Amino acid sequence: MTMTVGDTTGVPCLHTRRLSWEGALDLVAGRFVDFYALLSVPSDAPLDTVREAIVAQRRVWEPRRDDPGEAERDAVGERVRAIDLAEVVLLDPEQRADYDEEWHGRQNGSANGAAAAAVHAEAPAAPADARSDPAPVRVQSELLTLEPQRSNGTPSTTSAEVDAAAEPARTALRAGDTARAIDAFHYAILRHPHDPALHFELGQAYVQAENHTQAIGAFESAARLAPHVPEYRAAVGDALVHLGRPGEAIAVLEQVVAEAPRVPYHRAALAQALHDTCVHEMTSLKDGLVCLTTADQARLVDRLTGRALSLLDPDDQSQLAQDIREKHELARLAVQRAWRPPLPWWLMASFAVVIATGFALLIAWWVGLVALAVLAAVAFLLGLQPTWWHVARAAREADAIAEP
């Protein structure tokens, strides 16, 4: 997803460089981040104060991203991503209002008020070795989060709560505002990070926005949370197809089809991946068409299209089914031998007449006929080649093959 990270000295604005909420969610790992403690500002701080605190935090932590220690560098990266996420949420009035409601609920519902107060800006001073900004990152990171209430190891949320959190995103998506829908889904996931359906819906929003790379990340998150739901992995495969990575898609979708062999959507997605792999492996021509120019290509396309046809209904008349049948027939014809003149007709005929006439005049007429028959046999054998061989020769002669 892409959320704005603008100049922190002014009002944030949309840019092409955008913040990944997925990275921020990896940071919180299911915990609720206390942005006010992170920035050391009160919960009612005005926008200018929050903005100044973000700038100050970045000045401290950004230079430390090149720390030579890998563990320290990763921890600093988490801190910077948390600051980025705080900017996104706290500088947006609507998102901040939702966040404040959640924040106050967690503060009031905490069984340990002292632990909640420990992260507040006005808490008692930390030990001397952790008082300044360059303090050990891990110690501060643990203080910046409040654990969500859990029951038997799972978040204590209900379907109604999740639906309520996702409703703004769904409304925006129905209205065609994919950018706002994506932002809203990310915020809903921030509040309910363990709900796989929210991650799946986020992926669908990315697909609608034609951002299939981010969609894969969202679908994979859903699949990790609910590995027993094949639809989530099928969505990963479908997105890989749209990204032009059919080989990876086949590996994912074959497993999905093996688990749920009767689902038409899964079978069609795998057939599409197999078809696209065929197109990728065939020779591309400058006019945008593809053809078979090697025996290996013909065998591969025959095998892949055969597998694809086994997934589709024999009566399927969709464009995909027609394309697969066409390429399967093309592969079958490509390996059959056919005769084409190895040289232009006029050149072959002229050469044969000269040779036959010469033998007839110098030796005897029947010798000329024998020479003519031998030349015809040689021409036939030279021209009798697999169809793919003739296609490759014609394409090279016409300079029709596109550069790889």
| Exposure class string for 285-315: b at 16+ Cβ within 10 A, else e | eeeeebbbbbeebbebbbebbeebbebbeee
Task: Name the residue with higher pLDDT: 163 or 122.
Answer: 163
| Structure tokens given for 153 | 């190891």
Single out the residue in 148, 171, 202 at which a domain terminates: 148
Is 376 domain-assigned? Answer: yes
How far apart (Å, rounded) are the C-alpha atoms in residues 243 and 237? 10
User: Which position has the token pair 């989060």?
Assistant: 145
Is 231 domain-assigned? Answer: no
Mean pLDDT of 17-45: 61
Is 113 domain-assigned? Answer: yes
169 with 205: CB under 8 angstroms? Answer: yes
Q: What is the pLDDT of residues 256-266, one digit of tens each?
A: 999 888 888 88
Task: Name the residue with higher pLDDT: 138 or 252.
Answer: 252
How far apart (Å, rounded) are the C-alpha atoms in residues 222 and 313? 30
Single out the residue in 103, 123, 148 at which a domain terminates: 148
User: Which position has the token pair 């490759």?
Assistant: 392
Check residue 36 and give its pLDDT: 87
Angle at 45 between CA 40 and CA 49, to 5 degrees: 75
Please count the structural domains in the chain.
2
Is 358 domain-assigned? Answer: yes
Residues spanned by the domain of 124: 3-148
Single out the residue in 148, 180, 208 at which a domain terminates: 148
Q: What is the pLDDT of residues 135-185, one digit of tens each?
A: 333 323 332 333 333 333 344 457 788 888 889 889 998 999 999 999 989
Is 170 domain-assigned? Answer: no
- Helix, strand, coil percentages (3-state) for the chain, rounded to 5, are 65, 5, 25
How far apart (Å, rounded) are the C-alpha atoms in residues 112 and 117? 9
Element (H, E) at 284: strand 283-284
CATH number at residue 60: 1.10.287.110
Angle at 187 between CA 185 and CA 192, to 5 degrees: 90
Q: What is the pLDDT of residues 34-58, one digit of tens each?
A: 888 888 888 888 888 888 888 888 8
Q: Which of 371, 351, 377, 374 is nearest to 359 (CA)?
A: 371
Q: Helical H runs in 19-136?
A: 21-28, 35-39, 47-61, 70-90, 93-109, 113-118
Q: Is 142 exposed, middle or buried (0-12, 13-18, 19+ CB in 10 A)?
A: exposed
User: Which position has the token pair 């040689």?
Assistant: 378
User: Is the pLDDT confidence value at 253 over 90?
Assistant: yes
273 with 250: CB under 8 angstroms? Answer: yes
Is 201 domain-assigned? Answer: no
Is 228 domain-assigned? Answer: no
Is 10 domain-assigned? Answer: yes
